Structure 1
């Protein structure tokens, strides 16, 4: 990889957006709510460390692979600026032909479907817990009406921008940038919680873990500062 020799603002805006998507604050609420609902205890720590490590490694590897393949394949077709989802299947069609298109559509559909359910649940968790309502995805709607209502409304509201004709790719990139801007508000409290012996007991952070969290916080602040001007000067 090399630094861009043109359109630098747009390049760095995309970099900020990718980092923002890689560290998604909504996952904290979603994952911790699931842990409470399923009544996890200390015996789940080992499994969760493995899941977190393997999951992030797998996801990061896939993401890097997508970036590399996109750079190699799309550039060969003379595409230097991706501004439409219809350009993306070219990454797989060259190798797999028609089935490459099918594979791309299936992959995109699965990813979008999973993210939609997670974010919808996160909104329901956030509102229900904030107002002290009964909540839980395993409960029937009549047992947690507020939680179920917020979940349903969230899914409906999420469809409105696309129904109004907004470009899905631009909307995705803008959402990723907003995620980057919100990182400090989410990560800073965790630095205190992860060092509070009353809260985590003997599992409080060590020096290496604290250094990692501080790095993430610093990265979050930088992303928050640069996201807005990059959106203005380089947003697609």
Structure 2
């Protein structure tokens, strides 16, 4: 091995050792749900929701900052909830929130199934592949934390390169793009989609995971907060730019082609084909499939941590209880074909609607609990939120609650009438 190659490898290793937690958090939200929600937003509403993509990334950063500080100075979020509300209510909250994780997994394994089915030329339908994907996710999720973190870093950087490379030559009008970063009355008719962007970016399972996993990075004191924030800034910059690029491509390429919604799992890939040629469809499907698979793991880590914590047991990834819960709850993903058939939802419907469910029902609960925790004197001591931090952090709580209230009716109509 050459000295140059060895030094390059050392740089990557050092980076992953010091940082990288945010890439796990961002990769958990940047699965097929984010790709399709951003694409759907661009197709249906043009550039008008670019402000929501930016706002979602900023709010995700703020929420993760609260969670990191809680873990460094206080305790994990679910342990805080148990100590304040008692075991029965904490366990009820943990179980309710875990339903959202399972819903996410149902959509994600369906996306993996659809992607692999396409890549194999349709030799096998997506349904049996979804079952195999579920079992594969269980196996990978039981690896040690560092291996999963390195996988997430590589995947996020690769996706950013792909989608920015497509967005640049897409022919988007700079003036129209610039206007999309400013909320207008035109975007008020797209609140359910804005809620979807928020729900898939400010990912509530990460609020719990960050407060737990800061210990994995050795972040245990006030001086470590700056490293946590640098980590979050890098992770959310990558995720936010990729989301913006996807939305711009959909608005600039798919919308002028006459698409009014995503007709199939392959529709967003049409934009890549138009710019790069037919080989790009394979690139797109492969990327979405990998992103969906990777998202399953950190999302399903959350209930495996918070259910035992709510019941009074402190677990880590080596504990049998953690492994049993992760495997058992993730295993519900094998029912994805049944859910699809029962609710008459396509794969695209599931990967868009199930993150919306989390944005509407789970995110407001998690944000309120997190905001409470970082303001609790007994937990945070001198490091609890000050007035400036509260003014900023309160935006997440307010936006989560308002968007949920305004979009719940549209969501119920979509989920009960066969999707989009």
TM-score interval (norm. to shorter): 0.7 to 0.9
- Map of 2:79 onto structure 1: none
Among 153, 159, 175, the residue aligned to 2:328: 153
Aligned mates of 2:287, 2:296 — CA distance in 1: 14
Q: Is the 8 A contact 2:191 2:403 kept in 1?
A: no
Aligned mates of 2:193, 2:263 — CA distance in 1: 12
Among 293, 303, 309, the residue aligned to 1:123: 303
- Map of 2:366 onto structure 1: 186
Q: TM-score, normalised on structure 2? A: 0.50
Q: Is the 8 A contact 1:89 1:101 kept in 2?
A: yes
Which runs of 5 or more structure 2 residues have no equivalent in the other structure?
A: 1-46, 49-183
Give the 5 Å matches for 1:28-43. 28-36=207-215, 40-42=219-221, 43=223
Aligned mates of 1:175, 1:4 — CA distance in 2: 27
> What's the CA shift string for 1:8-52, capped at 9, x where partnerless?
86x432222112212111111122222245553114322110111
Structure 2 counterpart SS, 1:227: helix
- Map of 1:92 onto structure 2: 272
Q: Does 1:17 align with 2:196?
A: yes
Among 383, 398, 405, the residue aligned to 1:203: 383
Q: TM-score, normalised on structure 1? A: 0.85
Q: Is the 8 A contact 1:89 1:100 kept in 2?
A: yes
Aligned mates of 2:336, 2:255 — CA distance in 1: 31
- Map of 2:224 onto structure 1: 44
TM-fit CA distance, 1:219:
0.8
- Map of 2:312 onto structure 1: 132
Aligned mates of 1:173, 1:222 — CA distance in 2: 20
Aligned mates of 1:4, 1:114 — CA distance in 2: 37
> What's the CA shift string for 1:122-180, capped at 9, x where partnerless?
1111122223346222x2xxxx2221111011221123123554422211222122222
Structure 2 counterpart SS, 1:40: coil
Change beyond 3 A, Cα 1:190–1:32? same
Q: Is the 8 A contact 2:300 2:329 kept in 1?
A: yes
Aligned mates of 2:352, 2:376 — CA distance in 1: 36
TM-fit CA distance, 1:113:
1.7
Change beyond 3 A, Cα 1:208–1:110? farther
Which runs of 5 or more structure 1 residues have no equivalent in the other structure?
A: none
TM-fit CA distance, 1:121:
0.8
Q: Is the 8 A contact 2:305 2:322 kept in 1?
A: yes
> What's the CA shift string for 1:69-127, capped at 9, x where partnerless?
11111123211111321111112122222331222123212221221001111111112
Aligned mates of 1:21, 1:169 — CA distance in 2: 15
Aligned mates of 1:119, 1:192 — CA distance in 2: 23
Aligned mates of 2:259, 2:240 — CA distance in 1: 24
